[in-house]
């Protein structure tokens, strides 16, 4: 059976502000040093908890990382918002762009989430993240924007993979822009933003979905 790292019950019984404080410190450390490289000992030291207490809350580093990435993913989904059925194809594309732009704006304003976004998305092979794309594909098929000659499960998986690849590309450019500062002239948007970079995603999706865009870009 696949094991999904997660905190121990004792961590969930801590006061909410204490849980958030621990996860906030851990998120900063993982963002600064990398999801695969940050030191567990340094994280728990920075959070002000003993090693003994830490092992009451988490079986180890991967459980703490899992909790942090779950939090990142939850905020990404909150930025996107639930997918609501569109009235027509033009509205479908407009809604898709609005969601993607909102996500890009969140990542610009939350650099720790930006640093960990790809790791969080990579951990979400199913569940709410895939569910969001399933809702998009179902709505697009209803409107005739998305092809129906390919198995829906395969189309959802392929859509999520294309968007993740585009996100990873844009996130790398956003991180480079953040490192260079506003004077660099680097990209200031992500997928869905009204920039040349943001517009890269739409031709990919139109090609995958077998459509000319149905009124979109």
Domain segments of the chain as ranges: 9-69, 81-209
pLDDT above 90 for 18:
yes
CB 167 within 8 A of CB 118: yes
* Burial of 57: CB neighbours in 10 Å, binned 0-12, 13-18, 19+: buried
CB 206 within 8 A of CB 213: yes
C-alpha span between 37 and 119 (Å, rounded): 13
Q: What local confidence, expressed as pLDDT, does residue 108 receive?
A: 85
DSSP result, 45-61? HHTT--HHHHHHH-SSH
Residue for token digits 């899992």? 66
pTM of the model: 0.80
Residue for token digits 């092992």? 55
* pLDDT, mean over the chain: 84
Q: What local confidence, expressed as pLDDT, does residue 200 receive?
A: 77
Q: What local confidence, expressed as pLDDT, does residue 128 receive?
A: 86
* Burial of 109: CB neighbours in 10 Å, binned 0-12, 13-18, 19+: exposed
**Model confidence pLDDT, tens digit, residues 155-205:** 999 998 888 888 778 777 776 776 665 544 433 444 444 444 556 788 889
User: Mean of the pLDDT values across residues 3-27?
Assistant: 88
Q: What local confidence, expressed as pLDDT, does residue 195 receive?
A: 46
**Model confidence pLDDT, tens digit, residues 75-130:** 999 999 999 999 999 999 999 989 888 988 898 899 999 999 889 988 876 688 88
Q: What local confidence, expressed as pLDDT, does residue 187 receive?
A: 39
Q: What local confidence, expressed as pLDDT, does residue 4 receive?
A: 62
C-alpha span between 122 and 187 (Å, rounded): 23
Q: At 215, is the pLDDT very low, low, confident or very high (cuts 50, 70, 90)?
A: very low
C-alpha span between 212 and 217 (Å, rounded): 9
For residue 161, give Cα distances in angstroms to 49, 128, 208. 38, 15, 11
Give the CATH number of domain 9-69: 1.10.10.60
Q: What is the CA radius of gyration of the chain?
A: 19
């Amino acid at each position: 059976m696949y094991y999904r790292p997660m905190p121990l019950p004792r961590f969930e019984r801590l006061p909410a502000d204490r849980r958030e404080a621990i996860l906030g410190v851990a998120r900063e450390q993982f963002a600064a040093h990398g999801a695969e490289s940050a030191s567990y000992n340094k994280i728990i030291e920075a959070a002000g908890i003993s090693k003994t207490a830490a092992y009451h809350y988490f079986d180890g580093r991967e459980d703490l990382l899992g909790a942090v990435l779950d939090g990142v993913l939850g905020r990404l989904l909150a930025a996107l918002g639930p997918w609501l059925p569109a009235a027509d194809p033009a509205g479908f594309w407009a809604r898709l762009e609005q969601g993607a732009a909102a996500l890009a704006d969140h990542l610009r304003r939350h650099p720790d989430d930006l640093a960990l976004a790809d790791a969080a998305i990579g951990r979400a092979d199913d569940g709410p993240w895939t569910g969001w794309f399933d809702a998009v594909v179902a709505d697009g098929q209803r409107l005739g924007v998305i092809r129906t000659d390919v198995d829906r499960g395969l189309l959802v998986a392929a859509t999520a993979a294309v968007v993740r690849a585009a996100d990873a590309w844009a996130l790398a450019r956003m991180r480079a822009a953040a490192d260079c500062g506003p004077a660099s002239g680097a990209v200031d948007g992500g997928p869905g933003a009204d920039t040349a970079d943001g517009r890269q995603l739409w031709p990919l999706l139109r090609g995958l979905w077998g459509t000319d865009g149905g009124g979109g870009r």
